[in-house]
Amino acid sequence: MLSRDERILNLKANPEVSVLIVGAGINGIGVFWDLALQGVDVLLIDQGDYASGASAASSHMAHGGIRYLENGEFRLVREAVQERNRLIENAPHLVNPLPTTFPIFKWFSGLLNAPLKFLGMLDRPSERGALVIKIGMTLYDLYTREQGTVPKHTFLGRKRSLQQFPALNPEVIFTGTYFDGAIHSPERLAAELIIDAVSVNRKAIPLNYVSLAGMSENSVQLQDELSGKSFTIHPKVIVNAGGPWIDSVNRTLGMETRYIGGTKGSHLVLDHPQLRKAIGEHEFFFENKDGRIVLIFPLADRVLIGTTDIRVDDPDDIAITDEEVQYFLDMIRRVFPGIRVDPSQIVFTFSGVRPLENSEASLTGQISREHKIEQYQVGLSPSIPVLSLVGGKWTTFRAFAEQAADQVLEDLNLPRRTSTAGIRIGGGKGFPDSKVSRKEWVSRVCTTSGLSEDRIETLLSRYGTRAEQIAIHIASSQDHALRNYPSFSIGEIETIVQQEDVVRLDDFLLRRSMLGMLGRSSKAGLIELGEEIGKVIGWNAQRINYEIQRTIEILKTEHRMDISRYLIDKEMQPSLVMEY
Ligand SMILES: Cc1cc2nc3c(=O)[nH]c(=O)nc-3n(C[C@H](O)[C@H](O)[C@H](O)COP(=O)(O)OP(=O)(O)OC[C@H]3O[C@@H](n4cnc5c(N)ncnc54)[C@H](O)[C@@H]3O)c2cc1C
């Protein structure tokens, strides 16, 4: 891939592009990937980093949305289950079957929810009992049985439930366990889709830190957020994939819309070995006192807790509140009453806004999770179609992107060359799917690269089969492990920075790696990462300091993690930090 500066220079020289996609969350990236595979020249921009908006705030589930059955959203559940299975098959290095356990405390309640919702007579949640959950899980199995990607659900009585999960609330009468998918590192999936798009089509151009600035006649003004400089392009079709910012993107294009009525959701990441052990490799998905479905999720060696669902108008400035933290701490007690959680065990928090369609529903849980495309035209003759992608989930991104890409191809009068349904993603290509083939793969790459088995295993679980290329690069360089993050090495960081458009320190900490999310940010770690990334990009000391300071500020304001109190080294004193 050309460097970011070269891509911008080329665009300035040749400003005609068939498609401009505004917003590089998973929906924009999905359309970019699909159109690249169809051979279309397409430009993808984001005002920040790739997948840094709503797409960075997900609960890491590839899920059919069993809960949506009671809202009567059967089409959505069927599609989502199919797409969940495709993700497990096409990105097996990043998405795996996830046993999901629902502890049940009642027999019959909730039975009438779906029919009442259909008749418009339900405006409050009611607790789901064993029978309604059993029906939901059976329907779920029916939707998924042809593909057979995940096992069927099971139901356990009280005694066996407590044998399997001894810390569980003894008031439980059943546990139902069904399978969904876990997306271990969604932001890495996003990065790999971009790499795949660029590798098949040199006219597919991604640019992070470039925002939509304005529109006049048929020219669109873009602004490079790193240099502050503007440039103009002439697209034939615009895809507005602005997620929670869709209406503000439309405003910049000169059109007032009210497509989005977003809801905020927050998460905690806990360093809590006792709770981590109590859940095993199961996600616990259950109903809190207020009827809201919440989750306790195994995230590497940490525990992910989520999520809230609160209406918001402004998608910026949405860090977790004290009330949300308290809500989570109380809700853990409901299922694991003997496990104490202290706020000091919170190692990371994150929040985002679901780009849901504007709705009058009285409860946020009842707002449809469906996705749809809204269209209008801008510009002078020939006018430019603008497609706004409203809604959507990580799980269904491929299907939604396909729908949008079909519309774009029709507008451009181009044929679809290939479907994305069966295409393996990034390091999922040639991924060894069995224990035996995995062993063979690791041993082969050990021989070709000279690296240890442990090292290859780590790279394989992080990058899938892209690990081979990274291992070869590492073997040919003066590699060594990072002091603060010994499972990472400088050769590995070099490859990621060069191939994945890392332009900020937080791009690597929060999105190309799981270091930030797993609560491994430290002052020493940031300095070391800043220096190593700086060597690859060519940052001077001032820029490195600026990047460290900026990351500390992001951790503080967006994730409520204050590591600045550790700022005691001379070279890190804020007075020495220069504006970049
Ligand atoms: C709390 C929470 C939990 C969730 N959990 C799950 C889950 O477990 N499973 C699941 O499948 N889904 C989940 N989702 C849903 C899913 O994450 C989102 O629906 C999806 O990420 C939306 O992607 P998007 O591309 O539409 O929006 P975004 O990811 O927000 O992307 C929009 C992008 O547009 C950019 N942008 C805005 N304005 C401009 C401009 N003027 N110029 C350039 N760029 C601009 C933004 O910077 C942003 O990156 C969850 C969502 C939330 C909030």
The candidate with the shortest Cα–Cα distance to 518, out of 266, 339, 267, 189, is 267
Token couple for 219: 């020219």
Q: Mean pLDDT across the stretch 322-346?
A: 94
The candidate with the shortest Cα–Cα distance to 303, out of 324, 327, 281, is 281
Q: pTM score, two decimals?
A: 0.94
* pLDDT tens digits, 484-524: 999 999 999 999 999 999 999 999 999 999 999 999 999 99
52 CB near ligand 1 (under 6 Å): yes
Mutate which of 20, 44, 47 for ligand 1 pocket (most atoms within 8 A of beta carbon):
47
Is 444 or 72 the better-scoring residue by pLDDT? 444
Kindly give the distance from the C-alpha atom of residue 427 to the centroid of ligand 1, in angstroms, as a whole number: 23
pLDDT at site 113: 55
401 CB near ligand 1 (under 6 Å): no
pLDDT at site 567: 40
Q: Which atom of ligand 1 is nearest to the CA of 394?
A: 11
pLDDT at site 143: 79
Residue 341 has pLDDT above 80, yes or no: yes
Mutate which of 304, 327, 394 for ligand 1 pocket (most atoms within 8 A of beta carbon):
394
pLDDT at site 569: 40
Segment (H or E) for 268: strand 263-270
pLDDT at site 125: 52
Is 452 or 380 the better-scoring residue by pLDDT? 452
Residue 96 has pLDDT above 90, yes or no: yes
Kindly give the distance from the C-alpha atom of residue 85 to the centroid of ligand 1, in angstroms, as a whole number: 21
SS3 47: coil
Residue 279 has pLDDT above 70, yes or no: yes
| Whole-number percent of the chain with pLDDT over 70 | 92
Kindly give the distance from the C-alpha atom of residue 476 to the centroid of ligand 1, in angstroms, as a whole number: 38
Q: How confident is the model at residue 290 (pLDDT cuts 50, 70, 90)?
A: confident
57 CB near ligand 1 (under 6 Å): yes
Residue 579 has pLDDT above 90, yes or no: no
Kindly give the distance from the C-alpha atom of residue 452 to the centroid of ligand 1, in angstroms, as a whole number: 38
274-304: b (≥16 Cβ within 10 Å) or e: ebbebbeebbbbbbbeeebbbbbbbbeebbb
pLDDT at site 9: 97
390 forms bridges with which residues in the sheet? 372
Kindly give the distance from the C-alpha atom of residue 105 to the centroid of ligand 1, in angstroms, as a whole number: 34
261 CB near ligand 1 (under 6 Å): no
Kindly give the distance from the C-alpha atom of residue 560 to the centroid of ligand 1, in angstroms, as a whole number: 20
Distance (Å, rounded) from C-alpha 545 to C-alpha 92? 38
Q: Which atom of ligand 1 is nearest to the CA of 59?
A: 8
Q: How confident is the model at residue 73 (pLDDT cuts 50, 70, 90)?
A: confident
The candidate with the shortest Cα–Cα distance to 550, out of 525, 520, 524, 530, is 530
Kindly give the distance from the C-alpha atom of residue 23 to the centroid of ligand 1, in angstroms, as a whole number: 9
Q: Which residues contact 276 (CB under 8 A, 6 or more apart)?
A: 298, 301, 302, 303
Q: Give the number of other Cβ atoms within 10 Å of residue 211's Cβ.
A: 18
Mutate which of 245, 251, 293, 307 for ligand 1 pocket (most atoms within 8 A of beta carbon):
245
Kindly give the distance from the C-alpha atom of residue 101 to the centroid of ligand 1, in angstroms, as a whole number: 27
| Whole-number percent of the chain with pLDDT over 90 | 78
* pLDDT tens digits, 6-35: 999 999 999 999 999 999 999 999 999 999
- Least-confidence region, from 45-59, 223-237, 281-295: 281-295
Provide DSSP, 206-257: EESSEEEEEEETTEEEEEETTT--EEEEEEEEEEE--GGGHHHHHHHTT---
Residue 441 has pLDDT above 90, yes or no: yes
Q: How confident is the model at residue 127 (pLDDT cuts 50, 70, 90)?
A: low
Residue 109 has pLDDT above 70, yes or no: no
Q: Mean pLDDT across the stretch 391-404?
A: 97
- Least-confidence region, from 98-102, 135-139, 451-455: 135-139
pLDDT at site 359: 79
Kindly give the distance from the C-alpha atom of residue 501 to the centroid of ligand 1, in angstroms, as a whole number: 19
- Protein residue closest via CA to atom 9 of ligand 1: 61
- Least-confidence region, from 39-43, 100-104, 411-415: 100-104
460 CB near ligand 1 (under 6 Å): no
Q: How confident is the model at residue 576 (pLDDT cuts 50, 70, 90)?
A: very low
H helix intervals, 464-522: 466-475, 490-499, 505-506
pLDDT at site 180: 93
Q: How confident is the model at residue 1 (pLDDT cuts 50, 70, 90)?
A: confident
Q: How confident is the model at residue 574 (pLDDT cuts 50, 70, 90)?
A: very low
Q: How confident is the model at residue 571 (pLDDT cuts 50, 70, 90)?
A: very low
Distance (Å, rounded) from C-alpha 548 to C-alpha 567? 11
Q: How confident is the model at residue 128 (pLDDT cuts 50, 70, 90)?
A: low
259 CB near ligand 1 (under 6 Å): no
* pLDDT tens digits, 33-58: 999 999 999 999 999 999 999 999 99
Token pair 């993603």 in the structure block, residue = 425
24 CB near ligand 1 (under 6 Å): yes
* pLDDT tens digits, 130-148: 777 788 888 888 877 777 7
Distance (Å, rounded) from C-alpha 565 to C-alpha 243? 34
Q: Mean pLDDT across the stretch 68-86?
A: 84
Q: Mean pLDDT across the stretch 264-282?
A: 97
Provide DSSP, 11-37: HHH--EEEEEEE--SHHHHHHHHHHHH
Please, what is the average pLDDT of the chain? 91
pLDDT at site 430: 97
Residue 114 has pLDDT above 80, yes or no: no
Is 103 or 110 the better-scoring residue by pLDDT? 103
Token couple for 38: 């169809």
